């Protein structure tokens, strides 16, 4: 499936989109990390939860559960949440 990579993480992939596989978001991030070591740690914390500043969209729907099921036709977007004061 296609995965959109935000600019802040493109130093890992050297591309704005990558191909990856996985039956769940957790499996997808394992696959991405096997291809681009270190990227998963920037998105998923030590407790296997999405980091607070990360947003994941599957086919345009916001998802926070790494157990969310995926199909090979899905489009996944990793987005960095903006913060400030």
Query: Measured between alpha carbons, how far is 70 from 45 in angstroms, rounded to an integer?
Result: 21
- Tell me if 85 is assigned to some domain: no
Name the burial class of residue 48, with classes exposed (0-12), middle (13-18) and buried (19+) by CB atoms within 10 angstroms of its CB: exposed
- Give the domain extent around 67: 2-80
- Tell me if 14 is assigned to some domain: yes
Query: Measured between alpha carbons, how far is 78 from 85 in angstroms, rounded to an integer?
Result: 23
**pTM of this structure:** 0.91
- Tell me if 28 is assigned to some domain: yes
Strands (E), the chain: 2-4, 17-19, 54-58, 61-63, 75-80
CA 52 to chain CA mean position, Å: 13
Q: How many domains does the chain have?
A: 1
Quick: pLDDT tens for 17-34. Answer: 999 999 999 999 999 999
Q: What is the pLDDT of residue 81?
A: 82
């Amino acid at each position: 499936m296609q995965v959109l990579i935000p600019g802040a993480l493109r130093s890992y992939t050297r591309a704005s989109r990558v191909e990856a596989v996985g039956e769940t978001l957790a499996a997808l991030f394992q696959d991405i990390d096997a291809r681009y070591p270190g990227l998963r740690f920037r998105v998923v914390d030590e407790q296997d939860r999405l980091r607070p500043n990360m947003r994941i969209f599957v086919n345009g729907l916001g998802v926070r559960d790494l157990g969310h099921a995926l199909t090979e036709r899905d489009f996944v977007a990793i987005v960095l949440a903006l913060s400030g004061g």
